[in-house]
Structure 1
Amino acid sequence: MAGNTPLYEVLALRFGTHAGRPARDNFLTDEGQFTPGSEMPNDYYLWVVRDGRHLVLVDTGFPREMARRRGRTLFRDPVDALADLGTGAADITDVVITHMHYDHAGNLDRFPHSRVHLQEEELRFCTGASMRHRVVRRPFEPENVAAAVRGLYADRLVLHRGAAEIVPGVTVHPVPGHTPGTQVVRVPTARGWVVLAGDAAHLWANIRLRSPFPILEGLSPMLDGYDRIEALADGDDHIIPGHDPQVALRFPALPGAPDWSCLHEPPADSPVGATAAGARR
């Protein structure tokens, strides 16, 4: 990266989990790499990008009522947990929504003063004819979509058509496949370019095995997206998947705030892309 590129801290909050999930359910294909009966939970994260001048939130999680309704375990209220960082919703100037699924785009009404960044194609998709199909709309919540539309009418929703800079050096890049408007966030850090992949790669194993998570709108775009993510990041351990429990295990905790992991610091020695329990090459 250029010498004048600002460097940011990137913090991940693990605020919930979906335990007891069969490993097989996390992959579109099964070529014998899973131990029968093995489990591989999905964890839920949001991310903060900061440098002393800018404070950017990537995704907004979901509230406790949604966790109850969808059978998820919520460890922390994701918005209240911002207090661990000495900040709160009112201090967030920019919110990036990677895509509009319920676990990434809830709580938008709790950020009434923030600019919200979304790919235009994502808004078109979640308000368009595809939502007449129950199985397609299942990961979306009407209230989250309505909150995004209200942000549009309030001049707070910023719609992007492709790559864009959010704050100096921090950029979003469309990686369709999981949804047509999925985007990833590229951040310059002291250890290099980190890519917050969101659901463009649920788990390190998805991208390593080239076997996507089975909720997707386009298989070829999803696989092409893995190549794009790898090109944007400075190495395998610079790609941060959206739901991998290993993220909270491999990266050091923020001093004084153990629920937050420091992604701008080097990870532990565990092999990058090693699969979670039950996945075997």
Structure 2
Amino acid sequence: MTQDGYQVFAIRHGHVHRTVADNFAGGCPDDRPMPMDYFIWVAANERRTIVIDTGFGAGEAARRGRSVTRSVADGLRAIGVDHAIVTDVILTHLHWDHAGNLDLFGAARFHLSEQELRFAAGAAMTDPGRSLGYAGSDVADAVRLVHEGRVRFAGEDEELFPGISVHLVGGHTAGTQVVRIATRRGPIVLASDAAHFYANMSQMRVFPVTDDPDKLLNVYTQQLPALVQSTIDIIPGHDPLVLERYRPAGVELRGWVARLDQPFDETVR
């Protein structure tokens, strides 16, 4: 592996039972099961280990009716990562399921879009529909980290490290950013909530919790595809199919941790 060819791991830490109607805007009455998984991600090579998003803990899970399948700390330990010494964390946005557990990463610098913090701590939060996705304590933690000098505001299209770049796309929230990572099989994009499911992109249907639906449709058709060689290399943020399409990081990690830098099974749909 070259210094720019990262191993990339998707680590499942939560789950919720939902239906098709729950997952697409527009009120389509479809009660077929369409569950949602919750992930954090890790990109690692011989020089650095980067955590992307920090998930949520048991308290927030209980408040929102989600299940914690394995803790974030356990998932990191399973691939040999000690959360206490991680030096860099990228936050794609500040929703409760992506920006909890910030205190686990006591040695880390956090990379966040300034637009997202302005959105999450500004006038938009007087709208209950927009504020629903945020936990006030997580936003407060992010503000505290700014004052501690531990937040670096990322550019709109910026290479943070050799082979890892962030790209501001918005749509889901005003400051959502996606992460492009160089791997041995070519670049992949962690879409996070810019695309919850593969079906968001293939069916052009947005998730109900969306700040700007028209902008998000443009993300699906223009911004995400422009970052990769093939749309198969766009990884949605919540789709259980990810763990079926990609090989587990170890036999004992099947259904828990997948390797996204390896080829996936296109027959799984």
- Is this a same-fold pair by TM over 0.5? yes
Q: Which residue of 2 aligns with 1:24?
A: 21
Tell me which of 230, 234, 259 is aligned to 1:239: 234
Instruction: Tell me if 1:255 matches 2:253.
Output: no
* Partner deviation per Cα, 1:163-196 (whole Å, 9 max, x = no partner): 1122111000011100000000000111111000
* Partner deviation per Cα, 1:115-174 (whole Å, 9 max, x = no partner): 101110000001101111222211101110011111101111011231112211100001
Q: Which residue of 1 aligns with 2:11?
A: 13
Q: Which residue of 1 aligns with 2:49?
A: 55
How many angstroms apart in 2 are the aligned matches of 1:244 and 1:255?
20
* Partner deviation per Cα, 1:232-251 (whole Å, 9 max, x = no partner): 02212211000000001110
Q: Which residue of 1 aligns with 2:68?
A: 74
- Cα offset, 1:37, TM superposition: 2.4
Instruction: Tell me if 1:87 matches 2:87.
Output: no
Q: Which residue of 2 aligns with 1:208?
A: 202
- Cα offset, 1:256, TM superposition: 5.4
How many angstroms apart in 1 are the aligned matches of 2:210 and 2:150?
28
CA RMSD in angstroms, aligned pairs only: 1.6
SS state at 1:148 partner: helix
One-letter amino acid matched to 1:15: H
One-letter amino acid matched to 1:127: A
Partners of 1:5 and 1:188 within 8 A in 2: no
How many angstroms apart in 1 are the aligned matches of 2:21 and 2:108?
38
Aligned length: 265
Instruction: Tell me if 1:169 matches 2:163.
Output: yes
One-letter amino acid matched to 2:239: D
- Cα offset, 1:80, TM superposition: 2.9
Partners of 2:111 and 2:154 within 8 A in 1: yes
One-letter amino acid matched to 1:269: E
Partners of 2:164 and 2:182 within 8 A in 1: yes
How many angstroms apart in 2 are the aligned matches of 1:131 and 1:269?
40
Partners of 2:12 and 2:75 within 8 A in 1: no
Tell me which of 256, 260, 265 is aligned to 1:268: 265
- Cα offset, 1:29, TM superposition: 4.0
Tell me which of 140, 143, 148 is aligned to 2:137: 143
Unaligned runs of 5+ in 1: 275-281
Partners of 1:85 and 1:257 within 8 A in 2: no
SS state at 1:202 partner: coil
How many angstroms apart in 1 are the aligned matches of 2:104 and 2:160?
20
- Cα offset, 1:47, TM superposition: 0.3
Instruction: Quote the sequence identity (%).
Output: 40
* Partner deviation per Cα, 1:198-229 (whole Å, 9 max, x = no partner): 00000000011111111111122111111210
How many angstroms apart in 2 are the aligned matches of 1:200 and 1:69?
24
Instruction: Tell me if 1:100 matches 2:97.
Output: no
Partners of 1:121 and 1:161 within 8 A in 2: no
One-letter amino acid matched to 2:7: E
Quick one: higher RCO (CA 8 Å, sep 6+), 1 or 2? 1
Q: Which residue of 2 aligns with 1:188?
A: 182
Q: 1:207–1:262: structure 2 CA closer, same or farther, 3 Å change rule?
A: same
Partners of 1:250 and 1:268 within 8 A in 2: yes
TM-score by length of 2: 0.94
